[in-house]
Each structure stands twice: as C-alpha cells, then as structure tokens.
Structure 1
C-alpha cells in the first residue's frame, strides 16, 4: 500500500461555500468481486487527493477479499487471486483510507457504487462512516453535457471526449486518475455558468430552470445570520414570509433543485426582491415571522396568516348565562381553538359537568329557569327541569369559571371516574367516548391555562445558553416578546439585560385571557422557556400555573391518546 497525505479535517458548510479551487477533493475508485455491496468485497482501492488543480497525494492498494475472484472479474480487471495472497485485509486498509479522505469532498464516477461498497465495508469493520460531502461525476456529466456531445457518460467515453492524461484500465488508481481529469474538465464547464463553490455546485446539479436559477442574485447580499425573509412581487406585495438560521443559505435554496414544491417555484417566478430582518436568535425570528404573517397575509403562506381568528368559549352576559362559541374573548374565556367544532364539543362537555343551561331563550332576572326544559337525561337542558332563580343558578357558571381558571378540577375527576365505571360495566364504547371527551377538555384547559400563566406576567426576563457560550436573552411583557438580544461569550450578561429592558417595547393591555397577544406568539415563548437550560433572570410576578389546573392531567391525557390510537 502506498499513500501520501496532508493534515485532514472535516470541512464545515461555510468552508464548502468557498471557491472550488480552494476545496479539497479525494477522487476514489474501487475494484470489487461483483456488483453487490452487501455480498461482494473490495479487491483494490485507488484514490487521488487534489486541490486547486494540484495533486496533494495518492493512495493505492490491493485488498484481500477473503474469497476467490470470479473469472469474469479477472478478465475485466486483470486482478487474480494469486496477486492478492500477500495483500492486506480490508480492516487494515479502511482506517488509512478514511484518514486520507477525511476533511475532503469524496468524488467517484458512479458514486453510489463505490461509496456503497465503502460504507458496507466500514459497517462490517465496526467503523463509523464520516459525514463526507460527496460528488458523482456521472451525475455531473449528465447535467453539464448534452446527449449530442456525450451519448455515453461512461468513464472511457468521457476520457476520450476530454483527452485525459491517464486512460482508464479497470485498475483502481488509473481509473481514479482518469476521473480526476474528467472532474477538472467538468468543473471548467460549470465555472463558465457562474458555479464557483461546492455549495453552488450542489445547487446546480438538479435540473432547475434558467429563470429560477437566474434569481440567485436576490440572495447575494443577505447576511448569514438568523432572521426573517420576505419575498416581494412586482407590485411590492408580500408573497411569502419565512425564518432562517442562516438567511443567505435558506433563501438561496429557493433558486435550486432542493426546492421541489410547485407552489414555491411559482412564487419565485413572481419575486422581484427579498427583504429581511436580522434577529438576535431563533425565538425573535419566529415571533417576527408570526407578526409579519398577520400584517401581510402573504398568499403563498399556508399557516398562521390570521392569528386572531381563533374561537373562544365564553359565558354570555345575561341573568342566566350560557356558554357560547365566538371570536371575542373575555377574561374568563376558554381557548383559543382553531376549529369552531372542537370548541363547541368542549363547551358541551363543560355544560353537562357544570350544569349550565343549553336552552337559548332569554330569561329575565325575575323569572326562573327549568319549568319548560326536560332534564338532561331525557336529552334536554343540563341545568335540569327543576325551577331555579337567577341566584340559585349562579353556582353553575361559577363552577365553569373555576374549572377554566384552574381553581377546581372536580369536573375532570367526575369524568375520569365515569370512564372507570363504564369500563367496569363492560360498556367499552361508551367509556371510550367519555374518555375522549375528558382528554379533549383537559387538553383545552391545559393549553389555555399554560398560555394565560405566561400572559399574566407584566415583565419576565429569561436567558437561554448559546452553543459555544454566551446567552440568548428575551424580555417578555404580558405574553409578548418586547425585546431580544445576545450576550456573547465572555460578555457580562446583566448589563445587556438592563439595556434590553430599557429599550423594550411598551405593551398595551387588553381584557382577555392572553391580554391581547396572539396564542401563536405566547405559545412560541412558552415553548422556548421550557427548553433545557433556560433560566428566569427576573419576573414581576411568579411564573406559575394553577395548582388544580389541567397541568396535572397531562400524563392521564397521554395515556388516553395512546388508548384511542
């Protein structure tokens, strides 16, 4: 085995976005005992390391496959079993090859074949397969060359077309050297098309229309930072809003073959520019995306365009209150629900358990309820048929308010007990229906109480550890993200916190469970706060959920969902 090498390391994505002339490639070719990576074995490895058109090193070795070589392979390659008697086994060869190739883009002619054999061999040797970036010269040739110029993209045909220095001979090192010359010729072709980095080469390989690729310039000046991007159309209208960890990389993906959605290709065809907002971290980007969606309602976005069009369960304002489902929320409303049907189902469960009337007639304060209503067991009103004054009826809506606020979960206990009773009586279908109603109610209560608990806090400051050191910081007021920033590694965080707090947005309160913020925004913030490592720096009030709320029912709900599935 012979090899020359230089110090290897794995390339990052940004390094792979550097010019092709600065990218290290290892071109590899294998000879094998057959065509099945799972059943056949490697008999020879040849590899050439190149960068900027120069050869940095070569590796070549025969490999003992531990079996005889089929006659047709001997005829094709000239490698006989006698030649392999003193050759090393693959378990000795692979570590050297992986070290030789580490940190480079792995290239092969018909890469799935060669890389498939190498992966199978590493698995049999209990070695990890490195996260190689790869390139197939067959695929590249078919993308670059027309059928008229290259009817065949076999290595022998391309070697003749490009008049390579080393002709392929079905020996690994010769074929690898021939592939190097073919690769250089193909890279010269794509260079003339504006493809100058490995990342751009990956984007170029899929068959993308010239018009779509021609708009890559819209991403050229975007920063490589977290943020929100907004595609605009010919009349400056907002077409699409999205978030990205790396704005330039994400937006550039819309102009490549990685974007396969017909709807997005149509959007790109209309786009004339891309606006962006840089953000301190992912939470700020997600919140700004929601706000832009609400402000512009872009036609190519499918979600969250109308965040305030939620449904709420609300007690009516009358002497004998009922539960109604509406768009308007009051401080004691339950929600939000995306579906009116789901809200109505939960409202019906609450009405039954809290004995709230479902009849719709108006009843004056000095009159009574119940005289004209059949009992619930007969399909009538949950409040019953016994006459009740407004004062006597008051306990029913009060029980609903206490259930919604998390002050009393007796209704959930009654429902759970009923599930057990029906199951014990072997009324399994009825038990399943009550179980599902209970789980739906508990989930709605938990969602509302979780979001309301955060919205109830006038000001909360939190910090999340950043990868590599430092802190992502957020100032939250009444459930809204009022300010966001970063304390980099080595920077004292508290002065940054004070600066962010002083510059934070002033929030205008509204009389609703979420104090005017949207469920989407407060939900994003709540999820961010629940991530591992997040610390509460300070709060104006305690951050707590009600002790008798639905939070304690999450394990039961998970079991119910599992049973339902």
Structure 2
C-alpha cells in the first residue's frame, strides 16, 4: 500500500536563514514620536543574503521642518544638509522598491517600522506586509551581561566585533546592525535554530535539549484531536487539545513557550500520543475526560471534576438550604455545581439574606415546640421552631425560593440590590462590595443550573453546523453528554449519515436531578457549541427550553463589573 504524499507547510519545512534576503534598515528623525510631528531625515539600508552584501541604499530626506539643535548635534545632520534632499514623497517609494521581497530587519524595529508604516499610509500607499526581525529583541533573548552591558546597538557592535561603528547616521547604523545580525545568527545556529520560523519563535527558555525532541511530533497528523505527553514510564504528564495536532505539539519544542513548568514537562517527556477526533468539540470533550481519568501533574484545570459543591433545598416538612458534595435521588432541588466551597457559601448567603428559611440543621417535626433562635429575633428566620409560622405560609416562601433556584432570580437580585444601595448611601462601600460578590456568585450559579438543566432533561439533541472548511459537523448529545460526533462526507446523504451516527452513538442513562450525565464542564462546552451561530437542530427528544425570566439575563451586568475590575490599573 503506497502512503499518500503530504505537502509540508513552511512551518514544517522552514525557510533556511542562509537562503533568505534581509533588508537591514535604519532611520534618522527629527524626534522620537510620530504623534509629536517628528519627521524622517535620513534612510539607510543594506541588503544581505547568505552573509554577502547585495546592495546598499542611502538618502537624506527633506523634513520640511527645522531640525532641533540637539538632534543635529546627535546625528550630524543639519538643516543645510537636507535643504536640497528629496522629500519623503519620493524617498520612501524608492526605499520600499529596494526592500521589496525582503525580510525587514531593524534594531528596535517598532520605531523604524512605525515611521515607515505611518508615512506610507499618509501618502496613500498600502504598507507592504513585511516579515520583520528586531535585533534588539532577539539580543535580549540570547546576549548575557557577560557579553555586553546592555542591548544598545553600540554595545552589541563591540560585542560582535562590527567593522562599522554606529554614529547615528542611517547607513552606518544599518551596516553595524548587519554585523550584529550575523553574530546573532551564529549563536542561534549552535542552539539548533536554522530557519526563519524557528528564529521568529525562538525563546532562550526552550533549551537545546527540548528542541532536539521535535521528532516526537512528526508522527502526529494535521487533524483535530487530543495529545498526551508521557514520560519514560509511560505515565501521562500533560494532556492538551488542538485543531492541528502536529503543529500544536511541534510548538512545544520550537516556539516561545514561556511557562517554566511546560519547559520542565517537555524535558521529562519521551513520547507524545495523539488521538484524532472527528470534530474540535469532540477533541475538547475527550481532553476533559482524559484529564479526569489520568489526572496529569502538569495540567492545572479539570483534574478533579468530582470535587464540586452543591446547594440543596431539602425535601421535608420544613425545608432548608444545605451545602452538600453530591446530588442524591431524593427529589430535592439543587443549585450548582460550584467549583469551590467559597463560591457556594457566597450564594448561600445571598439566598439566606433574601429568604428567611430556617438555618438549623436538624429535622423538625410537623408541629415543633422549641424556643426561637437568635436569627428569629433578628427577623432573618420565620421561626417554625416555636410555631411563629404555619406550614402553608412557610411553603409559600419556600416556593419562591425554589423558583429563584430553577426559573428566575428576580427576588434575590432585587433584595440584594436594595441592600447595596443602602450601604453605598452610607458610604459603606466595602460592605456593599461583599453583597455584590454574593449576588454575582448566585446569579452565575443560577444561570448555570438553569441552562444546564434545560439540556440535561433532554434524552437526545442532535445538531449540525457547517464548519470553516465547508463540511457539516454533527453531534449527538444525550442527557447533556456528548454521545457521538462526525463529519458528513461530501458524497453522503446527510439524513442517512445522521441516522447512522445516532445509531452508533453511546447509550447514556439520565443523571440525577440537574446533574448532567457528564461533568458540568463538558456539558457547558457542548451547550456553547449548540448556542453558536449556524447550528441547525436535527432532532430534539424532550423539551429544550430555558426560562424567559431566568438568571442569565442578569449576567451581563456582573460580567461587565468583573471585566472592569480585571482591567483596572493599580496605583504606582
């Protein structure tokens, strides 16, 4: 059987540095900022390939403005020198023609390229899509203080023995940058960096030993799936997912992987296994299941899906709220799951603040005869203990509480919002913040429960969506769990394919209460796909509906607050 030839991408083949043409450019300007009206006064460039100089470009530029005296002293370029020089309107197109087809190189490239791009666009020209290398940035990754005191061009020129001394004239500085570039290439070559792709993604934190493990990715396909890093004992170290297994795994050995623990993991790894999946969603779900199964030490998320908390509204004569670790088949109502006890306690506090349900833990008889507790005296409990409330009145309050868990959140939102306004009016902002966090925790939990429950009640939801490659991805979801996934072949009958997929999909029993037949995290991923644009429902076995007045409609405010808090800059 003849293996099919695979057309390798540039990322895999790589473009050898020795075969590429580089245009090393330097500018002199009237100032440091375009926003302050600074203009270009000189352009210098050197074109090189394989260590050989192919040509040079140099021109003064008339800035049509006075050159500040300190700039003239620094560069040696005076107003008289540029008086008869060509304007930027003719100098810039000439340079861009010189640099056509090259990789653009500059020392502190954002400065030079920023000026070139600005004036190109201001003249109505589209700036060419140059690939850009910054020798200053590259030097900071590999040059140590033993080599040079800093990464200024003058210091690097001395460190690499440049034949040209930088003197703040464009062509001289470009020539010095060429020598620095070649010096950097020599060092990188000894580290196993020989292509432009490897150079662009080089990081000193990826060791030579790690780079030599690139072969571990070569057997993986260019398909979506899950990858598992293993050590010499075949223990799973790390699990990840990607739309392109080979490209993603290869990046661990060649790209700028800045996470130190990932570098440590790659150093231990001796093998990478790939599991191809029909669709990206199937890959994400498989990743979650495998992480939960293997609990790899280098994965931080999703390792312990069983470690969750729930709020339970008990099913008894005098119901109460309880913090529990499992959902039971006891006909009670549950809110969750919560990934941490702290979030669950915040939601519990929000509910207790809104509904004066009893907080004692023992089971009460139909006609209790006890003394009231301090919560009753504070009017935070209806006090069934001492007969202060009858069964019907207590049941009406519990019904409202249950509705806020399962169908809406209005009473909790209104009650805590009033309290926050009162505290803010009294300038008790920290106390108001505590109530805000409680409310946010409850709204997110209620929204999650209501959305997940709507899907987990359905025995089956089958849906399809046309993906970016034009093919139709089909998923079969049963009681919130992904039971089957596939892509309709171009020559297949869509209806027949879906029926075959349904017939071969996993048989899934219903979960208890609101608990999905999978983990909550898996069902959320499935739900996000179902709610994405372009999804077409093929079959729905059950009622997939979310409450119109559900908690989700309150999420936008709390999400905005959370995002605002993340982006606030602290005081110096």
Q: TM-score range by the shorter chain?
A: 0.7 to 0.9
The answer as to whether partners of 2:92 and 2:120 remain within 8 angstroms in 1 is: yes
1:20 to 13, 16, 22: 16
- Residues 509, 155 of structure 1: CA spacing in aligned structure 2 closer, same or farther, 3 A cutoff? same
Instruction: Give me the TM-score of the superposition, normalised by structure 2.
Output: 0.76
The answer as to whether partners of 1:349 and 1:437 remain within 8 angstroms in 2 is: yes
Corresponding residue of 1:154: 157
Rounded Cα–Cα distance in structure 1 between residues aligned with 2:452 and 2:110: 50
Q: Is 1:30 matched with 2:26?
A: yes
1:323 to 321, 324, 334: 321
The answer as to whether partners of 1:17 and 1:198 remain within 8 angstroms in 2 is: no
| Larger mean Cα displacement after TM superposition, 551-560 or 66-75 | 66-75
Rounded Cα–Cα distance in structure 2 between residues aligned with 1:135 and 1:435: 48
The answer as to whether partners of 1:108 and 1:136 remain within 8 angstroms in 2 is: yes
* Deviation sequence 1:221-276 (CA, Å, 0-9, x none): 33343332222123221212222343333333333572222322222222222222
1:63 to 50, 58, 61: 61
How do 1:420-499 and structure 2 match up within 5 A? 422=422, 437-467=438-468, 469-487=470-488, 494=495, 496-499=497-500
**Cα RMSD for the two superposed structures:** 4.8
SS of the residue corresponding to residue 314 of structure 1 reads strand
Instruction: Using the TM superposition, give the Cα deviation of residue 449 of structure 1 relative to its aligned residue in structure 2, in angstroms.
Output: 0.2
How do 1:500-515 and structure 2 match up within 5 A? 500-515=501-516
The answer as to whether partners of 2:311 and 2:334 remain within 8 angstroms in 1 is: yes
The answer as to whether partners of 2:139 and 2:184 remain within 8 angstroms in 1 is: yes
- Residues 467, 102 of structure 1: CA spacing in aligned structure 2 closer, same or farther, 3 A cutoff? farther
The answer as to whether partners of 2:350 and 2:435 remain within 8 angstroms in 1 is: no
Instruction: Using the TM superposition, give the Cα deviation of residue 455 of structure 1 relative to its aligned residue in structure 2, in angstroms.
Output: 1.7
Corresponding residue of 1:303: 301
Rounded Cα–Cα distance in structure 1 between residues aligned with 2:202 and 2:343: 47
How do 1:265-344 and structure 2 match up within 5 A? 265-316=263-314, 318-330=316-328, 332-344=333-345
SS of the residue corresponding to residue 132 of structure 2 reads strand
| Larger mean Cα displacement after TM superposition, 110-119 or 476-485 | 110-119
SS of the residue corresponding to residue 533 of structure 2 reads coil
Instruction: Using the TM superposition, give the Cα deviation of residue 313 of structure 1 relative to its aligned residue in structure 2, in angstroms.
Output: 1.2
* Deviation sequence 1:30-77 (CA, Å, 0-9, x none): 352567354754344355667788999986655323246689999999
The answer as to whether partners of 2:156 and 2:180 remain within 8 angstroms in 1 is: no
How do 1:115-134 and structure 2 match up within 5 A? 115-119=113-117, 121-122=119-120, 132-134=130-132
- Residues 469, 377 of structure 1: CA spacing in aligned structure 2 closer, same or farther, 3 A cutoff? same
| Larger mean Cα displacement after TM superposition, 108-117 or 438-447 | 108-117
- Residues 181, 221 of structure 1: CA spacing in aligned structure 2 closer, same or farther, 3 A cutoff? farther
Instruction: Using the TM superposition, give the Cα deviation of residue 135 of structure 1 relative to its aligned residue in structure 2, in angstroms.
Output: 2.0
The answer as to whether partners of 1:370 and 1:383 remain within 8 angstroms in 2 is: no
Q: Is 1:521 matched with 2:522?
A: yes
Instruction: Give me the TM-score of the superposition, normalised by structure 1.
Output: 0.77
* Deviation sequence 1:380-418 (CA, Å, 0-9, x none): 644444266767755555444333221x65744762685
Corresponding residue of 1:231: 229
The answer as to whether partners of 1:203 and 1:257 remain within 8 angstroms in 2 is: yes
SS of the residue corresponding to residue 154 of structure 1 reads helix
Rounded Cα–Cα distance in structure 2 between residues aligned with 1:448 and 1:219: 40
Rounded Cα–Cα distance in structure 1 between residues aligned with 2:500 and 2:54: 52
- Residues 559, 521 of structure 1: CA spacing in aligned structure 2 closer, same or farther, 3 A cutoff? closer
Rounded Cα–Cα distance in structure 1 between residues aligned with 2:355 and 2:160: 82
- Residues 49, 486 of structure 1: CA spacing in aligned structure 2 closer, same or farther, 3 A cutoff? farther
| Larger mean Cα displacement after TM superposition, 138-147 or 527-536 | 138-147
Rounded Cα–Cα distance in structure 2 between residues aligned with 1:234 and 1:170: 55
Rounded Cα–Cα distance in structure 2 between residues aligned with 1:56 and 1:469: 46
How many residues are treated as equivalent by the alignment? 546
Instruction: Using the TM superposition, give the Cα deviation of residue 533 of structure 1 relative to its aligned residue in structure 2, in angstroms.
Output: 3.4
- Residues 126, 557 of structure 1: CA spacing in aligned structure 2 closer, same or farther, 3 A cutoff? same
* Deviation sequence 1:155-213 (CA, Å, 0-9, x none): 996565xxxxx999998678768877886786577557543421112344636433333
* Deviation sequence 1:341-394 (CA, Å, 0-9, x none): 332343344356454322223334xx4136422474414644444266767755
Rounded Cα–Cα distance in structure 1 between residues aligned with 2:493 and 2:78: 69
Corresponding residue of 1:252: 250
Rounded Cα–Cα distance in structure 2 between residues aligned with 1:195 and 1:60: 32
Instruction: Using the TM superposition, give the Cα deviation of residue 326 of structure 1 relative to its aligned residue in structure 2, in angstroms.
Output: 0.8
Gaps of 5+ in 2: 1-7, 150-154
The answer as to whether partners of 1:228 and 1:285 remain within 8 angstroms in 2 is: yes
Rounded Cα–Cα distance in structure 2 between residues aligned with 1:182 and 1:240: 39
| Larger mean Cα displacement after TM superposition, 535-544 or 391-400 | 391-400
SS of the residue corresponding to residue 367 of structure 2 reads coil
Instruction: Using the TM superposition, give the Cα deviation of residue 457 of structure 1 relative to its aligned residue in structure 2, in angstroms.
Output: 2.0
- Residues 498, 133 of structure 1: CA spacing in aligned structure 2 closer, same or farther, 3 A cutoff? farther
Corresponding residue of 1:369: 368
Rounded Cα–Cα distance in structure 2 between residues aligned with 1:511 and 1:545: 19
The answer as to whether partners of 1:439 and 1:560 remain within 8 angstroms in 2 is: no
- Residues 432, 34 of structure 1: CA spacing in aligned structure 2 closer, same or farther, 3 A cutoff? closer
